[in-house]
Amino acid sequence: MSTKLTRIKKRDGRIVKYNINRIVNVIFKALLSTGTQPEDAEKLSQKIAKKVEAKLIKIFGEAKRIPGVEDIQDLVEAALLEAKQFDAVKHYIEYRQARREIREEKKRILNREKLHPIEKRFSLNSIRVLASRYLLKNREGQIIESVPHMFKRVAVAATLPELLYDPKVYKRPKKFPHVQPLSPAGDTCDFDEYSLIQNTEVKDFLQKIKEKVNHLPKETITEIHSGYTLGNYPITYGHLERLAVAFDELEKTTGRIKISFNKFLDLLSKGYFDKYSELAKKFYKMMTEQEFMPNSPTLMNAGLRLGQLSACFVVDIEDDITSILMTNLHIGLIFKSGGGVGANYSKLRPEGDYVASTGGTASGPLSFMRIIDTTTDVVKQGGKRRGANMGILEITHPDIEKFIMVKEDLSKFTNFNLSVGVLPQFWEAYSNKKDMPLINPHTKSVVRQIDPDHLINTIAHSAWKSAEPGVLFFDNINKYNVLKKYKGEIRATNPCGEQPLYPYESCNLGSINLAKFITLKDGKPHFCYKKYYSVIRIATHMLDNIITINKYPIPKIRANTLASRKVGLGIMGLANVLYKLNLAYNSKEAYAFMDELAETLAYYSMEKSVELAKEKGAFPLFDKSEYPDGKLPLSGVYEHPKPKKDWHGLIEQIKTYGIRNSYTTTLAPTGSISMIADTSSGLEPQFALVYKKNVAVGSFYIVDPVFEEYLSCKKRGGEKLKQAVADNSGSIQTLTDLFTPEERRVFVVSQDIHWLDHIIAQLTWQQWNSSSISKTINMPEEVTPQDIKQAYLIAHEIGLKGLTIFRDGSRIGVIEHLGDREKFKPQPSKYALEILERLLTNKGSIYYKRSDLRNELYDLIKGVLEGKSIAGLEQMPLIKETNGEDTTEAKEGKCPVCGGTIVYESGCEKCIECGWSACPVS
């Protein structure tokens, strides 16, 4: 008989290493559930686990077979009974049954008889989201792709560009390689990518792939495998097509390809490139361990026929009917490929303007936006959902007032987010209390003068009433724009506002799950920066490769994107990390932690981008940018009082070797991908700690996982406690009889945080962000338009690039509060008030120039602080403004996919139950 146990058999038949600690942990949790003190539970669980192990050795040693998971669980149950831990036995039996039900539900959803270990790792909610939106289905709607296969096809797509830079393929120069930008290649109506191919072997190969793929049935995933592999990773026909195009592109832009394409394929077929499967393994591991997720189009389309991997696009619209209709066609093609589109409509002449070619009058930007709105209704993104638009009109356009107020009727422009593009001339007029000219973009003549106070008040009132429009501060967007001296100013963004782009440019995004970097040290949670550094670098590498392997919907977009090579690495899970570290979201300690996270993200993503430039070349427009002058697209490098990283050293590295990506960071909304990663969304506070989900057979409560774990450790919970929190809008702030002051300090949700602290959180990340941020500034129902106006002024003065405000109750069909609770009025943090004091004493601030604005701000803050004042404000006279209009009644919205609850988060509508989002990034 064996005296040692070394292996066990998993349910799927795999043989894995035996680990007694797993038995100890399940017994420990069962004992904790009975109210046993942790110290006693730890000792007893060790004792019982050893008895279980002894029985395993005796039974299976004699039988000379490997025990299975169920065998071990049966013995755990028996050992708990033997120890007379009857309540623990009951808990353990219930736990086993719950796990069994979850496994069966996953099998049902995935249409599988057995689950892969990766599918076991992901939560049931993650599996639901993956099944509903990402995994491939046949014509009958049945899932035909496993979760690990999806991540493998993404990992392979992101790895294949490495093959092109292998020493046998690519001749690396002594100095860092310079890559010529691609020409847009013909008229914008030319969408045939194959016509751009120069290499005849590549052309022949692509034709063969096209013929094969056209004859393949779409019902089975295995039939799209090409027969080529990268180690153990299958290569699809979709992968091969993109690899061939990338080969041709690298050949004609660098002239450094050493072998023919047929020789390249021969090396691939013989396994020469299998060494790169280690990189694919890194990408795969990073995703399957939920440390990083790319934007939705990458998960949906990588390695497939569609092949379009970017979420964010910007197009241009000139003031003629041909351009307008052509742009509409381009937008339709982008939606079809899975992307979202932003456009600045300010070049279009105003409504009523004379049109010489017809002798008629112009119908104005809003009328042409309706054309785009209709196109959006009928063309689904990637064939799976409606598209999303950002519509921008600059503040000097004669139709600006109509634009500002158009969505007060929420039945209009339902496929658009709207933003006012605020220009420097507005701030000049506003600071000096002078009228601002509205200018006809066609004739360049002044149509009329307008009071800038009236304009900003109108924007604030409309946002108060309908949550739109947002505002984009073009001066702040372009202040550190390293491409401005060559390409001019950026005047548009993607649909959620976080990615400023030039016309016909795109960007692919991805987010790191911060919650995966918490480790225990001396029994206390700590953030593991070493692991964070590593994932930042791997994710940056992955996003850069995705640019190369991407299939762009229009040649002009391909050329412009490859010229700048912008990537947008961001984060998710911030709220969960703060909970785990016992930090209140709106505390000075949390802001300091966010600041370090943000600077670290910026620094290591750029450092990795420099390494990539050494190997593959800087982005083609590098020499025309401000990088060679030592400039960086980060305000924190110049304005932060105490940067922690060696930015001077990095600047010198960039000047010597170049940088692969002109921009590296973006903080995007992460609705669905954060659900896949089982974490909180973006940099937003948690929406609710507990909310109630209603289904056909009844209802149950969904609890934030960190909060639930905390309650479990404190031996608290139960349906009554969950109901109390859910009925209190998911907040615990007024439940003083149920939660301690310390618990209420840490476990804050979005509505518990003053709007000023939401702005400060955005600032903390913005100063280290090369692009911009998608974040919602939550405000309670009782705020006035005056508050919103002050939020705009503060945001601009501290350097934010844009702002999206959501007042609770402002949008019909979207809710913020999930129940009725006693009013809790959050106060701004001391740190936020210090920011305000800085603005008031800064001679360059608009508050310093205009005393009336200081008075209004004093009134707001003094009211919030219930009579308390801050330095510099005590002597200001009070100004009382009242608003006589009734607030809009908020009605519960329903998700178009699952019928769940719709909320407004990160600048767009999102379902908190299935992950559906109006934003293509999520």
- Residues annotated as part of the active site: 494, 496, 498
Report the distance separating Cα 131 and Cα 560, nearest Å.
34
- β 524-527/470-473 pair status: unpaired
How far is Cα of residue 2 from the mean position of the Cα atoms in its chain? 53
Local structure of 293: helix, strand or coil: strand
Across 129-232, the runs of DSSP E, i.e. the strands, are 225-230
The pair of three-digit structure tokens given for residue 644, joined into one six-digit string: 């922690």
Report the distance separating Cα 851 and Cα 473, nearest Å.
23
Local structure of 377: helix, strand or coil: helix
Helix, strand, coil fractions of the chain, as percent rounded to 5: 50, 15, 40
Taking alpha carbons only, the member of 571, 652, 642 closest to residue 606 is 652
End-to-end CA gap in the chain: 56
Local structure of 732: helix, strand or coil: coil
**Integer angstrom CA distances of residue 791 from 420, 495, 758, 768:** 15, 21, 10, 21
| Residues in CB range of 469: below 8 A, 6 or more apart | 403, 404, 407, 418, 419, 420, 459, 462, 463
Query: Phi then psi for 103, rounded to 5 degrees?
Result: -60, -45
Are 10 and 16 in contact, with CB atoms under 8 Å apart?
yes
Amino acid (1-letter code) at residue 803: L
The pair of three-digit structure tokens given for residue 563, joined into one six-digit string: 């010229």
Report the distance separating Cα 237 and Cα 161, nearest Å.
15
Report the distance separating Cα 630 and Cα 650, nearest Å.
10
Report the distance separating Cα 449 and Cα 452, nearest Å.
9
Report the distance separating Cα 865 and Cα 654, nearest Å.
48
DSSP letters, 742-779, are: HHHHHS--GGGS-HHHHHHHHHHHHTT-SS-B--EEEE
| Residues in CB range of 653: below 8 A, 6 or more apart | 607, 610
Residue in the structure block whose two tokens are 């109750």 = 809
Are 308 and 337 in contact, with CB atoms under 8 Å apart?
yes
CB atoms within 10 A of CB 210: 13
The pair of three-digit structure tokens given for residue 868, joined into one six-digit string: 């308390």
Report the distance separating Cα 783 and Cα 257, nearest Å.
62
Amino acid (1-letter code) at residue 331: I
Query: Phi then psi for 567, rounded to 5 degrees?
Result: -125, 160
472 forms beta bridges with: 421, 802
Amino acid (1-letter code) at residue 616: K
Query: Phi then psi for 734, rounded to 5 degrees?
Result: -100, 5
